[in-house]
């Protein structure tokens, strides 16, 4: 089975639409290195082809656009790296290549010269968020569930998540990073993670309209035309106001504390103070069960990258991700969730007090001279 189905569909005015379908339904279209290797060069070809008016990204099946990354392959590389006794994070060449190429693809989508429509139906998490966040037109449906749940697996919201969540309104991005809380369509739009809600049942009509549209030779005009087309099919999400927006003031009060040591206990206390609110209770429970080190790294990345460019954020995230693979909780989190499936990870450190700012400093040590970083050319 082809992991990514790449096709071109004839549209109006002699133009074509490039359609990329993530095609791994059994893994909820989880993003593998092979999928990145198929997507990246075709996106470059479509960008250079004057006959391509726009690109559409979608997932096969009804359950997910993309539920994350290829954690199985990363786990094997982590086990081999640690067994080798290596200490240089660059020695894990599989993880280095995987993260670098994934982040490079995500960055390219953010800066794509033509409109990209991402149809974010179903589960959109982790690596799926990385693909979707940079698209010029991001659709969510009645079945969309968006999250950055890396605290449960010993990582942190990467794929540009430090940049994207850091720009969410108020302190909502920090809350989502620490708790891995899922948001539906209304909250995704409120948080700046999506642009428009369209019912999944209307997708065939949207596709027909895309193919009937008389597209221009000018990408700027096509962006405007795509926006108008999607607006014709837009509908109000149900519910109109989701829990993230409903609890905006409460989240702001909690996450405005000056230190993580003050923020975390207040989030955990929500399990008792709002026990009748399943969304807040689940968020608190996820943070309680998650990696303290992941919580610290998520917090530090948003704090340290607040004024940096997206390119610089991706460069920092690559370094931190490789440290997570080398000596952080990432391998243990994957083991507990996907390998042994005992859901009993042994986090190290197991308390937030030990995962302090000084502890986090080691994850930001960059082994590359600036010009040799694998993502040195981003933004240039």
Statement: residue 220 has pLDDT above 90: yes
Cα–Cα distance for residue pair 164/159, rounded to 1 Å: 9
What would the pLDDT profile of 304-340 be if each residue is shown by its tens digit?
999 999 999 999 999 999 999 999 999 999 999 999 9
Q: What is the number of alpha carbons within 13 Å of residue 15 lying toward its C-beta?
A: 22
Those residues with Cβ within 8 angstroms of residue 30's Cβ, 6 or more apart along the chain or in another chain: 24, 66, 67, 68, 69, 70, 71, 127
Residue 257 preceded by cis peptide, ω within 30? no
What is the structure's pLDDT at 158? 98
Q: C-alpha distances in angstroms, 175 versus 195, 287, 299, 357, 361?
A: 21, 10, 10, 19, 22
CB 210 within 8 A of CB 157: no
Cα–Cα distance for residue pair 298/307, rounded to 1 Å: 16
Average pLDDT score over residue span 3-8: 98
Average pLDDT score over residue span 83-98: 97
Statement: residue 173 has pLDDT above 90: yes
Cα–Cα distance for residue pair 345/171, rounded to 1 Å: 28
Reported as a pLDDT band with limits 50, 70 and 90, residue 125 is very high
Average pLDDT score over residue span 231-249: 97
Those residues with Cβ within 8 angstroms of residue 153's Cβ, 6 or more apart along the chain or in another chain: 71, 291, 294, 330, 333, 334, 337
CB 188 within 8 A of CB 140: yes
What is the structure's pLDDT at 1? 73
Reported as a pLDDT band with limits 50, 70 and 90, residue 70 is confident
Statement: residue 276 has pLDDT above 80: yes
Cα–Cα distance for residue pair 339/330, rounded to 1 Å: 13
What is the structure's pLDDT at 380? 79
First-to-final CA distance of the chain? 37
Edge to edge, the sheet with strand 52-59 lists 4-10, 16-22, 52-59, 116-120, 137-140, 196-197
CB-CB neighbours of 234 under 10 Å: 14
Residue 24 tokens, joined? 């791994």
What would the pLDDT profile of 250-260 be if each residue is shown by its tens digit?
999 999 999 99
Which domains can be identified in the chain, with CATH numbers? 4-372 (3.90.226.10)
Reported as a pLDDT band with limits 50, 70 and 90, residue 58 is very high
What is the structure's pLDDT at 311? 98
Average pLDDT score over residue span 293-310: 97
């Amino acid at each position: 089975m082809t992991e990514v189905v790449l096709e071109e569909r004839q549209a109006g005015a002699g133009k074509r639409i490039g359609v990329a379908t993530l095609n791994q339904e059994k893994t909820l279209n989880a993003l593998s290195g092979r999928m990145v290797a198929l997507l990246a060069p075709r996106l470059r070809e479509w960008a250079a082809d004057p006959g391509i008016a726009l690109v559409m990204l979608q997932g096969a099946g009804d359950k997910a656009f993309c539920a994350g990354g290829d954690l199985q392959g990363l786990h094997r590389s982590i086990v081999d790296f640690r067994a080798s006794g290596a200490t240089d994070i660059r020695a894990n060449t599989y993880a280095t290549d995987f993260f670098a190429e994934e982040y490079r693809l995500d960055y390219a989508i953010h800066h794509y010269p033509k409109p990209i429509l991402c149809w974010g139906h179903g589960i959109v998490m982790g690596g799926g968020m990385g693909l979707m966040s940079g698209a010029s037109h991001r659709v969510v449906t009645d079945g969309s569930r968006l999250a950055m749940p890396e605290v449960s697996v010993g990582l942190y919201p990467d794929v540009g998540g430090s940049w994207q969540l850091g720009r969410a309104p108020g302190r909502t991005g920090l809350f989502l990073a620490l708790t891995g809380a899922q948001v539906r369509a209304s909250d995704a739009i409120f948080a700046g993670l999506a642009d428009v809600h369209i019912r999944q049942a209307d997708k065939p009509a949207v596709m027909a309209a895309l193919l009937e549209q008389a597209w221009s030779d000018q990408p700027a005009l096509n962006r405007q035309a795509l926006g108008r087309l999607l607006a014709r099919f837009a509908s109000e999400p149900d519910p109109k106001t989701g829990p993230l927006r409903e609890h905006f003031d409460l989240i702001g009060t909690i996450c405005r504390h000056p230190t993580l040591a003050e923020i975390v206990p207040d989030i955990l206390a929500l399990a008792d103070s709002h026990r009748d609110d399943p969304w807040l209770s689940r968020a608190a429970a996820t943070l309680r069960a998650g990696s303290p080190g992941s919580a610290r790294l998520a917090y530090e990345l948003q704090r340290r990258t607040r004024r940096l460019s997206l390119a610089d954020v991706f460069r920092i995230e690559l370094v931190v991700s490789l440290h997570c693979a080398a000596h952080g909780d990432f391998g243990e989190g994957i083991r507990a969730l996907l390998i042994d499936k005992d859901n009993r990870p042994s986090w190290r450190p197991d308390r937030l007090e030990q995962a302090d700012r000084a502890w986090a400093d080691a994850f930001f040590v960059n082994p590359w001279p600036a010009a040799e970083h694998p993502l040195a050319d981003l933004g240039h």
